[in-house]
Chains A and B, each alone.
Chain A
Amino acid sequence: MSIEFIYPEFEVIRNESRCIACRVCERQCANEVHSYDPERGIMVADESKCVNCHRCVALCPTRALKIVKSDCALRENANWPQSTINEIYKQASSGGVLLSSMGNPNPLPVYWDKILINASQVTNPSIDPLREPMETKVCLGKKKQEIRRDENGKLVCEMTPQLELSVPIMFSAMSYGSISYNAHASLARAATELGILYNTGEGGLHEDFYVYGANTIVQVASGRFGVHKDYLEAAAAVEIKMGQGAKPGIGGHLPGAKIVGDVSRTRMIPEGTDAISPAPHHDIYSIEDLRQLVYSLKEATEYKKPVIVKVAAVHNIAAIASGIARSGADIISIDGFRGGTGAAPTRIRNNVGIPIELALASVDQRLREEGIRDNVSLVVGGSIRSSADVVKAVALGADACYIGTAALIALGCHLCRTCHSGKCNWGIATQRPDLVKRLNPDIGSKRLINLVRAWQHEIKELMGGMGINSIEALRGNRLMLRGVGLNEKELQILGISHAGE
């Protein structure tokens, strides 16, 4: 036992002079940290179970609680940080692969924070979005290369299928199973109200959400869970998931404990069985194979819906994207290495993949050079944290952004990164009915709508400052960006100048 002991990561600090022993913390903690000691008449805490999700902190009516990082530390060592040592202890004890949730938390460079946006001064007018029209609408899908006219000289207006978004933001793929029914309901309702899209992830589409089909992207991933005719027909677009930013190169694993009731029915697998998505699609070993699946899905949906191919940002992403652009896909979605997940092996999440900023810049550049940029739209995700990130992504060449973590934070996620425990105290990453109901979709959808509307206002402000009144005019407009503290190579890949140039 003693050799296995790891000192708890957090301390629960209770201000005894404020605590009224109402026991709300006890009732709200699924990790069973808090309890009432009737002998002493006070609340006590077992901090070894605390994941620092702040549910108790947020609900304590007298603000008597706070959670702090424990200062009980091993001898300082820059080469062997305590977290590394503790991981070795855990593995020596369990013999298992370490699991983590949400995006890579390590201090690797965030290029968004090293890119600055331009603004107009003197020689070109800026625009006030409150006084003048400002367009944030985008259409995703393959664009025609030429203008055609019929025999009478009239324009032929036939378009390939397009997705229309009121603002270049979509909710990224999060499966029903990895997140709760109420989280999905919130996303679906918000996407519909906002005129954007949400994504089912690889968990099928619950029958209650078919009504939101016009604002739904359905995913076809390597496990093919929940894929059937009605599912494909219900959606506005179909996404083939080849990879995920949090765990490039591996599949998914939803533990059997979460495959209960409706989750099992929606995924079309028996209750209690692990939902294991293979690492590769077993029918895709080349761009030609990918093309077959793209066209199978187009055939199944009568060429009415755009097909998205989602890949993780990895080393040869530009060449990969070039292949996808030639496969018949309408939209390429690229997920950076900071993208979130409900569970991933820690080593993969923290060490595999590349930053989305560099991937996006190199893909956009490559597709332009090859003259196939209009074949596809580019959607990027993997830690888009604010409207400024969206503006920078669009200026680097993205048509739209996927937000996942930001959307979950709007729903109440406090980024405690223990989704894999299935005991989400905020009712998001859980299937336990008593926890799921903590997320009221009336509140959740409203908060998502608020978030995206707020970002839309900010995008308009930033665009107006640059003297740009349409998001289309910002796309790929890298002259609007400058780098700070970046080396020549980084600037070259990003295709931007250094600040001051």
Chain B
Amino acid sequence: MKRIYVNEEWCLGCRLCEYNCAFANSGKRDMVTALKGKPIFPRIHIEGDDKISYAVSCRHCTDPICVKSCIAGAIYKSDGVVQIRKNKCVGCFTCVLVCPYGALSPSESGVMQKCELCLTNSVGEPACVKGCPNRAIVYEERGALNE
């Protein structure tokens, strides 16, 4: 399946991906309306420092440990994409604890959220990939992940 991959060699740490992600999942038509004057809750995060940085989001593991560990059964896998039913999440943070990539985080409402490849919002393709100015984040087919 197509996944989001990050090439840290080209990541500038500009954090545009975080803002594009937050906007894409806001449901608003305009980035200013969506993000101005508010804390943002992106599903992709820039890690690193001035010298090296890279964007981290869900790897959509072949055998996701978050799905196994979710006590409420809120996290599930559909067509290879790991998704979350927000109305089932009880906010126990177990998924946050077990995810080796730090790909899950609390949303504005407190329940957990994660990257769903922008397949469930109106963007239709990963907004972080589309908006990356240096093609450091790509969305491509590279075969199965080895875990």
Contacts and interface: CB of A to CB of B under 8 A. Distances in A.
A61 B12 contact: no
Interface string A11-28: 000000111111110011
B131 A61 contact: yes
A145 B14 CA distance: 60
A109 to B, nearest CB: 38
Q: How large is the interface on B (under 10, 10 to 19, 20 to 34, 35 or more residues)?
A: 20 to 34
Contacts of B16: 22, 24, 59, 61
Interface stretch (B31-39, B55-63, B111-119): B31-39
Nearest 4 CB-CB pairings of A with B: A20-B35, A20-B36, A440-B10, A22-B19
Contacts of A498: none
Contacts, number: 56
Nearest to B31: A62
A434 B51 CA distance: 6
A61 B19 contact: yes
Contacts of A17: 32
Contacts of A437: 9-10, 12, 134
Nearest to B35: A20
A21 B10 CA distance: 24
Interface of A: 17-24, 27-28, 41, 58-59, 61-62, 433-434, 437-438, 440, 442-443
Interface string B2-34: 000000011011111001100100000001100
B19 to A, nearest CB: 5
Given A17-B32, A20-B19, A61-B31, A28 B12 contact: yes
Contacts of B131: 61
Contacts of B10: 437, 440
5 contacts: A20-B36, A21-B36, A23-B15, A28-B12, A59-B16
Contact of B35 (A22, A28, A59, A440): A22
A438 B15 CA distance: 14
B73 to A, nearest CB: 36
Given A62-B32, A440-B10, A440-B135, A434 B19 contact: no
Contact of B135 (A24, A433, A443): A443
B140 interface: no
A61 B36 CA distance: 12
